[in-house]
Amino acid sequence: MNSPFFTEDHEDIRDMARDFAEKALAPVAADIDKNDKFPQELVDTMAEMGFLGLKIPEEYGGSGMDMRSYVCVMEEIAKKCVTATLYISSANSLSTAPIIMAGTEEQRKKYLPGVASGEGMISFGLTEPNAGSDAASLTTKAVKDGDDYILNGRKCFITFAPIARYTTIYAKTSPEKGAKGITAFMVDMKAPGVSCGKPEEKMGQRGVPVSDVILDDVRVSKDCILGEVDLGFINAMKTLSVGRVGVAAMSLGIAQEALDLAVEYTKARVQFGKPLAKNQALRFMMSDMETKLNAARMLTYNAAWMMDNKQDATKAASMAKYYAAEAAFEIVNKSLQLHGGYGYSKEYEIERLYRDVRVNSIYEGSSQVQQMVIAGKLLK
């Protein structure tokens, strides 16, 4: 790919990810979706290839690569198996960014190597039943008790919670301060008082367990605090900026696959005596798809480049996530339309992509939340 955003090293990691996706993931993607189970051997392979530790510093068991390397891998993997990208994105964004940004040296040594090796998964506990888009209104509390804190509350839609070793829990330590009174805690999922709700039956992106996390008088030591007391919300928002670029990259991969499928199908499908691809109305439809995909790609690559160059990418990340997620849904929807009745059949890949892409404009900040962030930066 000839792009000013990427170097030869970036393209090498892209090629490696593409080869893995085509050879190892594409043949089993439909079964993963059908059985709602992702093979452990694939997790192990991704760890061995360095995908789970792409952005984790080398001294903690990772590869120490940059955001653009992460985007390359996410984009290529998403083309063939969206579920696999969730293992990669969790390990390189929501699981580890809070620790890399705010953790002590001891915490980094304790938690990061296990994520890179695939043996110590960490989930991200921010969302609550009544605090989704309005994350600052969370009600989970952490009350100081000597040198410890007692946590009580409930988190919902927590990706990987049922199989996580730890969860980063955001709780109010100073409720009267609102968003300025939230603290991040590393919570052992085997600790007394910690339990998970029933796994969610999801529409798409199957093969990744998601559930509530219930905290009932859970005692954690002060050593489990990430960063400073009452400054956890800042940590969460910075983490989400990283995650949003990952979702944008995932959206690119899904959209590219959907467009490729549309091109292939319309060239082969003959109606009214000629291939569908010869129909001008359909050609214009695919022109729109290609244009929006490339616009989304530039927004995503630019946000990753800004992060790599230590620039404030908050607005850029939200624009990338907002536009790429919405564009991907439109592209997949049009691709399914171009497939006609076959697109509605589970025998065709586009049906799975349609279900997989739908959540991208919802999680890690809905499209409406991204508009709020963009407007907030623009009109500050």
Question: Which active-site residues does the annotation give?
Answer: 364
In sequence order, what DSSP letters do the residues of 247-306 get, joined into one string? HHHHHHHHHHHHHHHHHHHHHH-EETTEEGGG-HHHHHHHHHHHHHHHHHHHHHHHHHHH
What are 340's two structure tokens? 């006609």
Tokens 């993963």, residue? 32
What are 212's two structure tokens? 């509530």
270-287 exposure pattern, b = at least 16 Cβ within 10 A, e = fewer: eeeeeebbeeeebeebbe
Q: Find out whether 211 and 198 touch, Cβ atoms under 8 Å.
A: yes
Torsions phi, psi for 47 (to 5 deg): -65, -45
Torsions phi, psi for 308 (to 5 deg): -65, -25
- CA gap 341, 201 in Å, rounded: 26
Strand stretches in the chain, DSSP E: 122-125, 141-145, 148-159, 166-172, 182-188, 194-196, 210-221, 225-226, 270-271, 274-275
Chain Cα centroid distance, residue 281: 35
Instruction: Identify the DSSP state of 55.
Output: T
Tokens 């959209």, residue? 255
- CA gap 224, 212 in Å, rounded: 21
Nearest to 186 by CA among 119, 91, 98, 54: 98
- CA gap 86, 316 in Å, rounded: 22
Q: Find out whether 102 and 221 touch, Cβ atoms under 8 Å.
A: no
Q: Find out whether 25 and 84 touch, Cβ atoms under 8 Å.
A: yes
The amino acid sitting at 260 is D
